[in-house]
Amino acid sequence: MSAHTSPSFGTARRTELFDALIALFLDEGFAHLTLDDIAGRLRCSKSTLYTLAGSKEQLVRAATVQFFRQATDDVERLVADVDGARARITAYLSAVGSVLDAASDQYMVDLDAFAPARSVYEKNTQIAARRVQQMIAEGVASGEFRDVHAAFAADLASTMMVRIQQRRVRESTGLDDASAYRELAAILTAGINA
């Protein structure tokens, strides 16, 4: 998930650093890292990091926003050419799971413990739930799904998505977020078939 770079060296270098920062956080988490650690790992100065954000907390939030922005773009690109509501919902939730595969357990623990980053995940979960509701409504309208109350089915999906995001599914089932999204896709689409 690399961001697009512009011809400007400064912008290209910043994009490269930001991509490396996201990769570092996804791989190792961020709570234990100091700005000195991050600068050392990215082979840049702390002053260079300050061009990306004013503090470690702002850096974490900005990296989290960018990760989810890129993830959203990747997911939408993967489902753009999928025909049929059932296939689109399955592709969508499976793609969400695949995107989250990039995030280590430590990243997810740190994300949950850091309110500004957690709020970004919560917001993206809400957006994804609305997207699933839209696809369910399209499936009902086309006759692909039985006449379920689309808002209820989406609320059911949203409830599980929030439980996944809050790590409750992992605690009760052992499933990581990515696997839980794939299971949700399978259960949701099989349960509303026409």
Please give the pLDDT value at position 192. Answer: 61
pLDDT of residue 40: 96
Per-residue confidence (pLDDT) for residue 115, from 0 to 100: 95
**In the chain, which stretches have pLDDT less than 70?**
1-10, 191-194
* pLDDT value for 71: 93
Query: What pLDDT score does 33 carry?
Result: 97
Q: 135 near 85, Cβ under 8 Å?
A: yes
**Tokens 């489902």 — which residue?**
79
DSSP letter at 104 equals -
Is the pTM higher than 0.75? The answer reads yes
Structure confidence at residue 145 (pLDDT): 82
Contacts 24+ apart (CB under 8 A), 15-20: 17/42, 17/44, 17/48, 17/49, 17/52, 18/52, 18/62, 18/63, 18/66
| Amino acid identity at 99 | V
Q: What token pair was written down for 166? A: 């809050």
Question: Which option is the CATH number for 56-191: 1.10.357.10, 3.40.50.720, 3.40.47.10, 3.30.420.10?
Answer: 1.10.357.10
Tell me which H or E stretch contains 10: helix 9-28
